[in-house]
A and B are shown apart, each in its own frame.
Chain A
Amino acid sequence: MIESDVTLDTLGYFCPMPIILTSKKIKELATGQVLQVLSDDEGIKKDMPAWCQTTGHEWVGLEEEGADAKRVYRVFVRKAG
C-alpha cells in the first residue's frame, strides 16, 4: 500500500482528461507530497509515467484492484520542487 497525501478521482474519464486533471491538481500540492490518481482507463499505466518523465515529477508507483471492466488503477506521483 503506497501512502498518499491527496487523492484525485478520475474514474469514468478517458484520455486526455486524467492527465489534464492531474496537471491541474498537482499545483495544489507542496513539494514532496504524493498525489494518488484513481482511474479506470488502462492507458494511465503508460501515460502517467510518460507525464512524469516530461514534467519532472516523480513516478512513485501503481496499484491495481478489481478485474476486467471493474479494474481500477491507483497511480502515485510525488511533486517535484
Chain B
Amino acid sequence: MNSTQVEPATTLAGLRAAKPERVTIVLLSGEMDKAMAAFIIATGAAAMGMQVTMFFTFWGLNVIRKPGATSAARDVLRKMFGWLNKGGAARLPISRFNFGGLGAAMMTKVMRDNRMPGVPELIDTAQDLGVTLIACTTTLGLLGLSKDTLIDGVDQLAGVSTYLAEAKDGSVNLFI
C-alpha cells in the first residue's frame, strides 16, 4: 500500500499550508453507491488540498474490512452476526436493485468498462492522498470485529469525541 502523504496542492505559503480546510465524513452505510459517494468526495477534497478525515461506523465498517476476514468475537451471538455480516470493499451491495448481488455485479461491470474507479480503487487513492481513516470502536465491538479484520492503513480506532473534535474545525462535515 502506498501511503505517501500528499502536501496541500500548492506551496501557497503560510495561510493555507498552516491551516488547511478540514473535511470530515461519517460513513454509516455499507452500500457500494454510498461508499463511492463518500470516497469520491474525500479524494476530491484531498486533491483540493483539504485535510480529510473519514469515520467508519456500523455498516460503514464493512467497507474497510479485509476481504474474507472473519469475526474475532468469542460469544455466540456476535460470532453468528459476524458470519452473516460479510464485508470487503469489492463485494458491497448497492442500495437499490441489488437482487442478491446481481445488481452490484452489473454496476461494477459498467463502471469497469467505463474506467470508473470502484470502491477498492477509491480507497487506495484516498490513502495515497493522505486521507485519515478512523474506525469507531463501539460498533467495531458490537459487530464482533477487531482491528485485524480491517484493511491496513486504518489510522486509528476512536470514538465520538475524536469525531467531534475534528468536526468542529471542519468546514465540510458529511454523514452518509
Seen from chain A, the residues whose Cβ lies within 8 Å of a Cβ on chain B are 12-17, 19-20, 22-24, 26-27, 31, 50-51, 54-57, 79-81
Contact = CB atoms under 8 A, between A and B. Distances in A.
Contacts of B6: 23-24
Contact of B47 (A12, A14, A51, A81): A51
Interface of B: 6-13, 16, 21, 40, 43-44, 46-50, 114-117, 125, 129
Contacts of B116: 14
B115 A80 contact: no
Q: Provide the main secondary structure of the chain B interface.
A: loop
Given A19-B48, A23-B47, A57 B40 contact: no
B10 A14 contact: no
A56 B16 CA distance: 9
Given A14-B116, A51-B47, 12 more contacts: A14-B114, A14-B115, A16-B40, A16-B43, A16-B44, A16-B47, A19-B47, A20-B44, A20-B47, A23-B49, A23-B129, A27-B7
